[in-house]
Structure 1
């Protein structure tokens, strides 16, 4: 028993000494990894700062060049960066508006500007109610056609082989736009008189025609532009 206990004590002491010998090597590996990541982080921060400084100087140079306030054609001496001048710069760059203070109208990407309104034609198929819900999610409504010029414009941005929901529905035997205004039948032609209740209006080319609101078609959204 004494030999076994002595052997056990010696074996435990040997393992403990081996662990103490190996531990410094593990401790030395951690600082090198930390230093590596610290170096990478500092390099990324330095590079980002340089890019930001260069971008700010380029923008300041463009603003000053537009006002002609440069020194010997090199670096601008001062920059008149008031909100009015900055807005005028945006109008000239985005709207090609060189003179005047009248606001320019901007539509989101893939939307079309016409007569103070932005229009967007879908590619998917939905019911009339679902189509109106999609327009609402885009901050818009189904298109409300006010004259023949608007009708011709919608014909240009849509495919003449497809039907599109517009903001027109039949309510108590009367066709009304989604705005509450009644349809002027003298302005638009189409087989609307044959429609039944729960019908909504579609447009195809230059013709407005009815179908049940539960049918699925593409749709046209309309909203006000952004004024710059």
Structure 2
């Protein structure tokens, strides 16, 4: 009977069309089982991922840091990157070029680093480093603002105004800053 445009009907299910017990209902709603080897492969895969994650964590803790990378054409050494110029310019031009590259002229920390840079340059000609006279008191100062440790390194030659340091054959020499030499830039390696 229709009232206000609504039609009602009676539906009856034929006998036996509905499950009569819960086991039949459970069978009706379960998915087919995966083969045993699929389940084993899945568990082995998960176990492998957990082992790899553990190994990465252990290596990170043991190393104390992740991988450190240098830009293309920069030489890595310890935690720093080094770039050697191909052209010759005066000291302040080398300083400015290093700054443009997001670095600074080489600041030598120890004898091993000095030897590394000599291997990099091939002991050819003097190469500008980040050391110069900054005041009338004639004190050698690195471009990072630290004073030269005279017990680690000595600079041969006069310490006068307009003196900059160049390195050749494991020696640091005083040179006139307007002399044209190649230079070495240095920056921290990027932690990834």
Structure 2 length-normalised TM = 0.65
Deviations 1:83-141 (A, max 9, x none): xx9xx9xxxxxxxx996233110001121111211111111011111001110111100
Match of 1:149 in 2: 112
Find the structure with the greater CA-based Rg: 2
Residue of 164, 189, 192 corresponding to 2:154: 189
CA RMSD in angstroms comes to 2.7
**Unaligned stretches of 5+ residues in structure 1:** 1-69, 79-84, 89-96
Residue of 210, 214, 222 corresponding to 2:178: 214
Distance 2:155 2:146 in 1: 18
Q: Which has the higher strand share?
A: 2
Q: Is residue 100 of structure 1 aligned with residue 59 of structure 2?
A: yes
Contact 2:139-2:159 at 8 Å conserved across structures = no
Shift of 1:191: 1.1
Q: Is residue 158 of structure 1 aligned with residue 117 of structure 2?
A: no
Distance 1:195 1:146, change over 3 A: same
TM alignment of 1:3-42, pairs within 5 A: none
Query: Larger relative CO (CA 8 A, sep 6+): 1 or 2?
Result: 2
Match of 2:144 in 1: 179
Match of 1:204 in 2: 168
Distance 1:126 1:200 in 2: 13
Shift of 1:196: 2.1
Structure 1 length-normalised TM = 0.55
Deviations 1:41-82 (A, max 9, x none): xxxxxxxxxxxxxxxxxxxxxxxxxxxxx99x9xxx99xxxx
Distance 1:144 1:131 in 2: 13
Distance 2:57 2:169 in 1: 37
